[in-house]
Amino acid sequence: MSTNDIVMSIRDVSKRFGEGCEACREDTSILNGNICPDCGTVHAVRDISFDLHEGEILGIVGESGSGKSTLMKMMYFDQENTSGDYYLRSYENGAENVFDVSSQKKREIRNEQLGMVYQNPLHGLKINFSSMTNIAEKLIAGGSRNVGEMTARGDMFLEKVNIPLSRKFEAPKNFSGGMQQRVQIAKALSNYPPILLLDEVTTGLDLSVQADVLELIKEIQREMGVSMIVVSHDLAIIRMLCDRTMVLLNGEVIESGITDQILEDPQHEYTQQLVYSIL
Amino acid sequence: MLTVENFGKSFTTHHLNQTRKAVSGISFNVEKGEFLGIVGKSGSGKSTVLKSIYGTYKPNEGQILYDSERFGTVNLHEIPDHDLIRLRKTEIGYVSQFLKVMPRTTSFELVVLSLLEMGVDRVTAEVTAEETLRHFDLPEALWHNYPNTFSGGEKLRLNIACAVVKAPRLLLLDEPTASLDQASKLKVRESISKLKDSGTTLIGIFHDLEFMEGLCDKVYDMSARAVKETV
């Protein structure tokens, strides 16, 4: 019906850790959880397909080891896929499978068309360099060369995420966890990517700081129209942020739907267990 | 505008290995601009019907056809999730007795946000939000407060304000006046009446039948499984 607003398409994407044997490659029903009982290969992500629409926030939930982060890492090219296709509207208008493009092109896509915020700020920031340098690094990687423009952009985004500009030349290692996450968000957004990937970004933050980060994410989505994928194991956060939600178990999507439908009328046994566990 | 055909819903609870039928054999239709009241005792499945129209519940039987502005006639349970989300943002509203909102968002901002997601510009949204909060007698001192500090009645009025301000084509009301005092109920009634006059189609469950009197064009009785016209 409405397909022209799809910004990302993932088709039959899988990731195996290990070569796999004939048995587990042919038939994944023999797996014990996501591990092959014969050869020990871990099938971390199995045949996942979904679309992300413009301005939408898509939630991914599931227990540890369900494949949420592996999927995110593949989308950001931190990890290679074993099979499947990945299309971005911002790259050749979605006509080319970006898993198949050169490493150089992948780097360009990463720097210009995607933003990633990791659970651990150490993965997303150079923690000993200043916040401004962190943002400049992303901007330079995206092709910027004008120092004045880069500084102005850095100021703008640091202000947006409420980092006092008096501290812009301070290294994030001196910042609190919440502030580090906000610098990561500023860095991820600095090239105006159409898609932002957020991996457990509020885990480990206290409730008040968590509310700050959530507010910020919603505001960015409203004001910049960025599409987002939010990985979280916290269903309250998923309820607050996400339009649609996918539930992963052992590397597979077992259920997906509008968020309130997943939370109020869960169909799969595992989703029911998850929802009934909300405090 | 909306046709419910032989609708049924059951809930399966896996850990109890149990399937419970909530409702079945529900059929009715609502014309554009009509107000249908749903009556029935507790547990008869009134809310299940409303939540299934809104898409919060997945029905197991029958179909729910809606004449949308954007997509033409659609079966609300077969259209892609993304399209249903779009209809919720622009055409179909739902109000319950419970307010679920983003933490630390002021009541004023919540009403503004309801309008922004429809594509209204911020300046217009702020003016409309003021008018709406004033209409529902939410004291100005509360406009820039977070709703979790509000009384039950204030929360409800805010909840209704957020839905009504969008002037949806179809508004589903799930006992939104359950714990309101008489004066607040009259305010809600006035707004609903105004919406109806402007062409909004309404389906509502109200505990208090007096409230529905003179407002509903017809009533669906859950126990009789039939619609009766009212005067």
- pLDDT tens column, A120-150: 999 999 999 999 999 999 999 988 899 999 9
| Tokens 């079966």 belong to residue | B75
Q: What is the pLDDT of residue B189?
A: 84
Whether A222 sits inside 8 A of B12 (CB atoms) is: no
Decide: helix, strand or coil at residue A165: helix
Decide: helix, strand or coil at residue A23: helix
Q: What is the pLDDT of residue A225?
A: 87
Q: Which of B82, B110, B115, B117 to mutate to test the interface with A (most CBs of A within 10 A)?
A: B82
Q: Average per-residue pLDDT in chain B? A: 89
Letter string b/e over residues A203-212, b meaning 16 or more CB atoms within 10 A of that residue's CB: bebeeebbbb
State the Cα–Cα distance between residues A203 and B211, nearest whole angstrom: 47
Identify all chain A residues contacting B56, using CB atoms and an 8 Å cutoff.
258, 260-261, 264-265
Q: Who among B11, B51, B103 is closest to A211 (CB)?
A: B103
Residues contacting residue B8 through CB under 8 Å, at least 6 positions apart: B21, B23, B24, B25, B26, B59, B60, B61, B62
Closest chain A residue to the Cα of B100, Cα to Cα: A240
This complex has an ipTM of: 0.89
Note the pLDDT tens digit of each residue in A145-172.
999 999 999 999 999 888 999 999 999 9
Q: Average per-residue pLDDT in chain A? A: 92
Letter string b/e over residues A214-245, b meaning 16 or more CB atoms within 10 A of that residue's CB: bbbbbebbeeeebbbbbbbbebebbbbbbbbb
B79 touches chain A (CB under 8 A): yes
Range from A204-218, B7-21, B154-168 carrying the lowest mean pLDDT:
A204-218
Letter string b/e over residues B5-42, b meaning 16 or more CB atoms within 10 A of that residue's CB: eebbbebeeeeeeeeeebbeebebebeebbbbbbbbee
State the Cα–Cα distance between residues A32 and A258, nearest whole angstrom: 30
Range from A148-152, A205-209, B44-48, B89-93 carrying the lowest mean pLDDT:
A205-209
* Cβ–Cβ under 8 Å, residues B28 and B4: yes
- Tell me the CA distances in angstroms from A216 to A98, A222, A228, B182, B227, one per residue in order: 30, 10, 13, 39, 48
Cβ under 8 Å to B: A residues 156-175: none
The length of chain B in residues reads 231
Look at phi and psi of residue A107 and say left if phi exceeds 0, alpha if psi is from -120 to 50, else beta. alpha
% residues pLDDT > 90 (chain B) = 58
Note the pLDDT tens digit of each residue in A196-252.
999 998 887 788 888 888 888 888 888 888 999 999 988 988 998 999 999 999 999
Identify all chain A residues contacting B85, using CB atoms and an 8 Å cutoff.
56, 243-244, 258
Q: Pick from A88, A90, A78, A117: which is nearest to A230 by CA? A: A117
Q: What is the pLDDT of residue A3?
A: 60
What value does the mean pLDDT take over residues B213-224? Answer: 88
Note the pLDDT tens digit of each residue in A19-49.
888 888 888 888 889 999 989 999 999 999 9
% residues pLDDT > 70 (chain B) = 99
Identify all chain A residues contacting B51, using CB atoms and an 8 Å cutoff.
264-265
What value does the mean pLDDT take over residues A171-199? Answer: 93
Give the confidence band of B192 by pLDDT, cuts at 50, 70, 90: confident
Tokens (6 digits) for A245: 């939600």
* Cβ–Cβ under 8 Å, residues A50 and A246: yes
Q: What is the pLDDT of residue A2?
A: 44
| Tokens 């309250």 belong to residue | A236
Q: How many CB atoms lie within 10 A of CB B227?
A: 18
Q: Who among B13, B58, B105 is closest to A261 (CB)?
A: B58
Residues contacting residue A100 through CB under 8 Å, at least 6 positions apart: none
What value does the mean pLDDT take over residues B162-168? Answer: 90
% residues pLDDT > 70 (chain A) = 99
Burial label, A42 (beta-carbon count in 10 A; 0-12, 13-18, 19+)? buried
Range from A8-12, A66-70, A274-278, B56-60 carrying the lowest mean pLDDT:
A274-278
- Terminal C-alpha separation, chain A: 38
Decide: helix, strand or coil at residue A59: strand
Identify all chain A residues contacting B69, using CB atoms and an 8 Å cutoff.
none
Residues contacting residue A73 through CB under 8 Å, at least 6 positions apart: A79
Closest chain B residue to the Cα of A260, Cα to Cα: B56
Range from A12-21, A133-142, A256-265, B134-143 carrying the lowest mean pLDDT:
B134-143
Residue A1 pLDDT > 60 = no
What value does the mean pLDDT take over residues B38-65? Answer: 93
Residues contacting residue B138 through CB under 8 Å, at least 6 positions apart: B107, B154, B157, B158, B161
- DSSP letters, B28-64, are EEE-TT-EEEEE--TTSSHHHHHHHHHTSS--SEEEE
Task: Please list the residues that pair with A114 across neighbouring strands.
Answer: A195
Residue B152 pLDDT > 90 = no
Q: What is the pLDDT of residue B209?
A: 76
What is the DSSP-derived secondary structure letter of residue B173? E
Give the confidence band of B42 by pLDDT, cuts at 50, 70, 90: confident
Q: Who among A218, A264, A267 is closest to B102 (CB)?
A: A218
